[in-house]
Amino acid sequence: TLIAVLAGDGIGPEVTAQARRVLEVVAPDLTYEEGLVGGAAYRQTGHPLPEATLALAERADAILFGAVGDPEFDGLERALRPEQAILGLRKSLGLFANLRPARLFEGLEDASALKPEIARTIDLVIVRELTGDVYFGDKGRDLTPAGLRVGHDLMRYDEEEVARIAHVGFGTARTRRGRLLSVDKANVLETSQLWRDVVVEVARDYPDVQLAHMYVDNAAMQLVRDPGQFDTIVTGNLFGDILSDQASMCAGSIGMLASAALGETGKGLYEPIHGSAPDIAGQGRANPCATILSAAMMLRHSLGRGDDADRIEAAVARAISEGARTADLGGSLSTEAMAERVLAGL
């Protein structure tokens, strides 16, 4: 079983290295191959997603991804910027379903900006569509007849794109508390109207799941007011980008939250939801838990090893409840020391 390790920029190499240490204990039979990605790849090859990396990702059974992004490259044209690597991987590999669980780890009540009694209720997963929407619609810069500069991006979904992510949403809700909330802006957007229609159609296949709808502005409010009301949320690429980052912050540190990007086959890309954090890169201070938990998701979703995933997740929860804390959690453990606390709990 081949794992492509794309460590990327900033703290990416530090956190993936620790996740790999944990994997080597739990699943010693996996093999690894490293690939260049993001700003690191641009520096060496002139492109953030070199052909060799894409080929490796295609060949691998799963991808463990660190982070991309480096202010050094802010001036580059968009097509060459580090972020294009992750967009390119998602699109090329057909990774249309992004799972982003958010829950508060016991003991981290203080890390959340929310009142502890509210933060403690968070246990949700956002199912975000990842290969469509205004991210991938026709986009460009033009001039009007009067010579004004214009920027445009087409928001767009077809019914197949909506139906397949809706199935992931209902399927996910079924393994949880059986409630699916679809988030859109159907009072303004035709794309959302189609989204809502199709989600309602797909719902017929899941009579056991309770479906509701909410506008995105209200969802952003409710995620602050009463996040405990949510079980599974399904939404488009753009709304999912915003709401999942917001939800993760409600749950405390983004240093604790994992994500999976899945396609039709078992292959997936697994990454911590925090970014490259250039401000603390190379200092050994980053929290490796989000990447370790992403590795657990990889075992569960791509490699059929749910038990190993459970073991890792339990070890992380144990380390946290016993007081292991990196700087983002108000402590002083190094990246390596935190990983060792997790290893000790396995």
Ligand X SMILES: CC(C)[C@H](C(=O)O)[C@@H](O)C(=O)O
- Binding-site sequence positions for NAD(+): 275-287
Query: Does position 123 bind a copy of itself by CB under 8 A?
Result: no
Closer to a copy of itself by Cβ: residue 115 or 207: 115
Instruction: Look up 185 and say whether it is catalytic.
Output: yes
- Non-local CB neighbours of 205 within 8 Å, separated by 6+ positions: 167, 170
Task: Look up 217 and say whether it is catalytic.
Answer: yes
Q: Active-site residue 133, yes or no?
A: no
**Residue number with the smallest Cβ distance to ligand X:** 83
Instruction: Report residue 8 as tokens.
Output: 């990327």
Reported residue count of the chain is 346
Which residue number, 8 or 252, has a Cβ lying nearer to ligand X? 8
Residues annotated in the binding site for Mg(2+), as ranges?
217, 241, 245
Q: Which of residues 152-171 bind a copy of itself (CB under 8 A)?
A: 152-160
Which residues have a Cβ under 8 Å from the Cβ of 231 and sit 6 or more positions away? 123, 124, 125, 173, 176, 177, 178, 179, 180, 181
**Of ligand X, a copy of itself, none, which one does residue 144 interact with (CB within 5 to 8 Å by kind)?**
a copy of itself
Assigned token pair, 139? 């986009």
Q: Which one, 28 or 151, has the nearer CB to a copy of itself? A: 151
Nearest to 239 by CA among 164, 302, 181, 305: 181
Q: Tally the C-alpha atoms within 13 A of residue 336's C-alpha that lie toward its C-beta.
A: 3
Options 61, 123, 153, 245, the catalytic residue: 245
Core vs surface per residue 155-164: b (16+ CB within 10 A) or e: bebeeebbeb
Buried b (16+ CB within 10 A) or exposed e, 262-273: bbeeebbbbbbb
- Per annotation, catalytic residue among 9, 70, 133, 135: 135
Nearer to a copy of itself, 134 or 337 (CB): 134
The structure tokens listed for 196 are: 């809502």
Q: Where along the sequence are the contacts to ligand X (CB under 6 A)? A: 83, 86-87, 187-188, 217, 241
Residue 319, CB half-sphere, CA atoms under 13 Å: how many?
28
CB half-sphere exposure, 271, CA atoms < 13 A: 26
> Quick one: which of 182, 191, 259, 276 contacts a copy of itself (CB under 8 A)?
191
140 touches a copy of itself by CB under 8 A: yes
Q: Which of 185, 206, 270, 328 is catalytic?
A: 185
Catalytic-labelled residue, pool 110, 158, 205, 217: 217
Active site residues: 135, 185, 217, 241, 245
Site residues for a copy of itself per CB under 8 A: 78, 81, 83, 87, 113-115, 118, 134-135, 137, 139-141, 144, 148-160, 185, 187-195, 197-198, 216-218, 220-226, 238-239, 241-246, 248-250, 254
